[in-house]
C-alpha cells in the first residue's frame, strides 16, 4: 500500500505499481469469473477483465442486452450463458445487476453461492440495506466489492485509452482467508487507476448522496435555476445556456479538474475571481443544510426505500420516460442540442 496525503489526511491506496497486473493474474489464475448482468457496469468490467487475460464468462437473460453481449464478442454456450448457468460455473460471482434486479434475482443466485465462492458487488446498496432488499449472504462465502467511481462506459473508454478509473474497495466477509487478495486482483483486473478502502455502508451512503447531490441532482437544480433567472430577465436562450452550462463544461471544468479550483480562479479575470470568492460563501451556506438533509435521508435508509418502492412499480419505466422527456424537452436542454452542433469539432 502507498501512503498518500489527501488534503493533510494520510490514506493508504493501492496502485498498479504495488499490485501489478501480473500479480492479479496469478491470484485469479484458477478462478472462473462470472459477470452477472450486462447493463451499466457489466460490459466495461467484463471486457476489461477479458482483455487483461482473466477467465471470464457472462450470465444474462435473453433479450437486447444478451444480443449486446454477443456483439461484444461473448459466445453463447462458451462464454455467454443464462444467469443460472454462469452462476453455477463461476467461482467468483460478480453481481452487476441493477439494485432492483439484484432483489428479484437474489433467490435464484443464492442457490449457487456455495462455500468458498466469492460474491462481488460494485455498489454497497444490497448489503447495506439488506433488511429492505433481502440480500443476506451466508457466512461461508467471501463478500467483496470494487466500486469504480464512474460509469461502466467510462471504465471501458479509459481502459482502451490506457488510463484507469479510480475505484473504492471493501471486504464485507472473508470466509476463505483470501478475500482481500481476490478483491484487489479484481480491482486491478477491471482497470482501476488506484484503489482506496471503504466499507459497504460508507460506499452506499456516499454514492447515493453524490448522485442526488453534486453529481446529478444538485447540478441540474442549480443549472436550471440560473438559466431560468437569466431568461426571466431578458437574456436569450443561447446567452443563458452559454453562461450557465457551456462555459462550465467546455472551459472551466477541465481547468479545475486538471489543477484545482484555486488554479482556475487564478487564471480567470479579476472580475470573475472577486465575484466567485464573494459568492461561494452564500452558495455554500444555502446548500449545506440541503446536503445535510439529503445525507440523513440516505443514512436512515429512506432513500433506499424510495428507490425500492419506485422500481417495484410495474409502470416505473413509463413514468421514468415521462420525467426524462420533460428534462429533454425543456428549453435549456433543447438549446443544448443546437449549441453542441455549433461547436467547432462538429463543423
Position 11 scores a pLDDT of 87
Kindly tell me if the per-residue pLDDT of 52 is higher than 70.
yes
**Location of C-alpha cell 446529478:** 216
Please work out, in degrees rounded to the nearest 5, the angle formed at the alpha carbon of residue 183 by the alpha carbons of 178 and 188: 130
Would you place residue 7 in the very low, low, confident or very high pLDDT band (cuts 50, 70, 90)?
Answer: confident
Catalytic residue among 123, 156, 182, 212: 123
C-beta of residue 247 within 8 angstroms of C-beta of residue 334: no
CA pair distance 143, 241, nearest whole angstrom: 46
CA pair distance 79, 70, nearest whole angstrom: 10
Kindly tell me if the per-residue pLDDT of 312 is higher than 90.
no
Phi, then psi, of 213 in degrees rounded to 5: -100, -125
CB hemisphere CA count around 173 (13 angstroms): 19
Please count the other Cβ atoms lying within 10 Å of the Cβ belonging to residue 247.
12
C-beta of residue 140 within 8 angstroms of C-beta of residue 168: no
Residue 316 grid cell: 416505473
Beta strands in the chain (DSSP E): 2-6, 9-15, 33-36, 56-59, 80-81, 92-95, 118-121, 142-148, 165-173, 192-197
Q: How far is CA 172 from CA 118, 162, 196, 201, 207, in A?
A: 11, 31, 15, 10, 17
Helix, strand, coil shares of the chain as percentages rounded to 5? 55, 15, 30
C-beta of residue 34 within 8 angstroms of C-beta of residue 90: yes
Would you place residue 159 in the very low, low, confident or very high pLDDT band (cuts 50, 70, 90)?
Answer: very high
Please tell me the pTM assigned to this model: 0.89
Would you place residue 241 in the very low, low, confident or very high pLDDT band (cuts 50, 70, 90)?
Answer: very high
C-beta of residue 23 within 8 angstroms of C-beta of residue 30: no
Q: Which of 154, 91, 150, 102 is nearest to 125 (CA)?
A: 102
Residue 68 grid cell: 449486446
Kindly tell me if the per-residue pLDDT of 345 is higher than 90.
no
pLDDT in tens, 250-305: 999 999 999 999 999 999 899 999 999 999 999 999 999 999 999 999 999 999 99
Position 347 scores a pLDDT of 67
Kindly tell me if the per-residue pLDDT of 49 is higher than 80.
yes
Annotated active-site residue 123? The verdict is: yes
Q: Which residues pair with 261 in a beta bridge?
A: none
Q: Which residues pair with 4 in a beta bridge?
A: 11
Position 269 scores a pLDDT of 92
Amino acid at each position: 500500500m502507498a501512503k498518500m496525503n489527501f488534503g493533510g489526511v494520510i490514506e493508504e491506496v493501492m496502485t498498479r505499481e504495488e499490485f501489478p497486473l501480473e500479480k492479479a493474474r496469478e491470484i485469479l489464475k484458477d478462478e472462473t469469473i462470472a459477470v452477472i448482468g450486462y447493463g451499466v457496469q457489466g460490459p466495461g468490467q467484463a471486457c476489461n477483465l477479458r482483455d487483461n487475460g482473466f477467465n471470464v464468462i457472462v450470465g444474462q437473460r435473453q433479450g437486447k442486452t444478451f444480443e449486446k453481449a454477443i456483439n461484444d464478442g461473448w459466445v453463447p454456450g462458451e462464454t455467454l450463458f443464462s444467469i443460472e448457468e454462469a452462476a453455477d460455473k463461476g467461482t467468483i460471482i460478480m453481481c452487476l445487476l441493477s439494485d432492483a434486479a439484484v432483489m428479484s434475482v437474489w433467490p435464484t443466485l443464492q442457490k449457487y453461492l456455495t462455500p468458498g465462492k466469492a460474491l462481488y458487488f460494485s455498489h454497497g446498496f444490497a448489503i447495506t440495506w439488506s433488511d429492505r432488499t433481502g440480500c443476506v449472504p451466508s457466512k461461508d462465502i467471501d463478500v467483496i466489492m470494487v466500486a469504480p467511481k464512474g460509469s461502466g462506459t467510462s471504465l471501458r473508454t479509459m481502459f482502451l485509452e490506457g488510463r484507469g478509473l479510480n475505484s473504492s474497495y471493501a471486504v464485507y466477509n472473508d470466509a476463505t482467508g483470501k478475500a482481500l487478495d481476490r478483491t484487489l486482483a479484481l480491482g486491478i483486473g477491471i482497470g482501476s487507476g488506484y484503489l482506496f478502502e471503504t466499507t459497504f455502508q460508507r460506499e452506499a451512503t456516499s454514492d447515493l448522496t453524490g448522485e442526488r447531490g453534486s453529481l446529478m441532482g444538485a447540478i441540474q437544480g442549480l443549472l436550471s435555476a440560473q438559466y431560468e433567472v437569466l431568461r426571466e430577465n431578458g437574456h436569450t436562450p443561447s446567452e443563458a445556456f452559454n453562461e450557465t452550462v457551456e462555459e462550465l463544461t467546455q472551459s472551466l471544468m477541465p481547468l479545475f479538474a486538471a489543477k484545482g479550483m484555486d488554479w482556475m480562479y487564478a487564471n480567470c479575470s479579476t472580475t470573475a475571481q472577486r465575484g466567485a470568492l464573494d459568492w461561494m460563501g452564500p452558495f455554500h451556506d444555502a446548500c449545506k443544510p440541503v446536503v445535510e438533509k439529503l445525507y440523513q435521508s440516505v443514512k436512515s435508509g429512506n432513500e433506499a426505500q424510495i428507490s425500492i418502492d419506485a422500481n417495484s412499480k410495474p409502470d416505473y419505466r413509463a413514468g421514468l420516460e415521462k420525467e426524462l422527456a420533460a428534462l429533454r424537452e425543456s428549453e435549456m436542454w433543447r438549446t443544448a442540442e443546437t449549441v453542441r452542433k455549433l461547436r467547432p469539432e462538429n463543423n
